[in-house]
Amino acid sequence: MKRRLIWLLLTLCAATSIASAITPVTRLHAYKVEGDAIAHPLAGLSGDAARGASLVQQRHKSLCVLCHAGPFPDPHLQGTIAPDLTGVGARLSAGQLRLRIVNMKRLNPDSIMPVYFEIIADSQEVRVAETWRDRPILTAQEIEDLVAYLQTLR
């Protein structure tokens, strides 16, 4: 009996913490996850590293530098709450970079990194602002541009 109770307690804890951690998404874009990567470019698009270099620094659009530092201008305006992106192209493959931007929470449900390529299911408790409702943060093209750029950081 005692063991059963402990077991019950543990599952309940797990259930409640997962429930609060999982980000509800309504629509999944078509892409295939293999291991910890999305091997194929989204929608078969090819990325442009120069566009990605400019996008990564746009704090109101890509938001990357709010959290991450990296080899970009204005280091005093870069965040310190996520890993430094210096050398990330040597650490991760294109496919690994892609999955991390598309949906980091598939790898770590507790991650604070926003989900860039899913639609957040809205509700009275989630309160997605009207301007941002029913759309992902970035487009497939923008994500491919970022992947192309991040690969050059070696």
Partner 1 sequence: MLRFVLLAAVAFSSMARAEIPSKDKRSGFDFMSPQTQAMQSDETSNPGMLWVLDGERMWSESQGKAEKSCASCHEDAAKTMRGVAARYPAFDEQTKRPIDLAGRINRCRETRQDAPPLARESNELLTLSAYVAYQSHGMPITPAADRRLDKYRENGRAWFERRLGQLQLSCASCHDDRWGARLGGSVIPQGHPTGYPLYRLEWQAVGSLQRRLRGCLVGVRAEPFEYGASEYVDIELFLMSRAAGLKMETPAVRP
DSSP 28-74: --S---BTTB--SPGGG----HHHHHHHHT-TTTT-HHHH---SSS-
Indicate which single residue of 41, 47, 78, 149 sits in contact with partner 1 (rule: CB under 8 A): 78
What gap in Å lies between CA 65 and CA 70, rounded to an integer? 8
Q: Which of the stretches 24-32, 38-46, 60-68, 118-126 binds ligand HEC when contact is defined by CB under 6 A?
A: 60-68
| Position 83 contacts ligand HEC (CB under 6 A) | yes
Complex with partner 1: residue 85 or 120, whichever CB lies closer: 120
What gap in Å lies between CA 108 and CA 45, rounded to an integer? 26
Find the binding residues for partner 1 in span 16-55 (CB under 8 A).
16-17, 20, 23
| Position 146 contacts partner 1 (CB under 8 A) | no
Indicate which single residue of 3, 32, 90, 130 sits in contact with partner 1 (rule: CB under 8 A): 130
Q: Shortest CA distance to 45 belongs to which of 27, 30, 25?
A: 30
Indicate which single residue of 111, 122, 139, 141 sits in contact with ligand HEC (rule: CB under 6 A): 111
| Position 113 contacts ligand HEC (CB under 6 A) | yes
Question: What number of CA atoms fall less than 13 Å from residue 37's CA on the CB side?
Answer: 10
Q: Return the biggest CA–CA distance within the chain.
A: 63
| Position 107 contacts partner 1 (CB under 8 A) | no
| Position 64 contacts ligand HEC (CB under 6 A) | yes
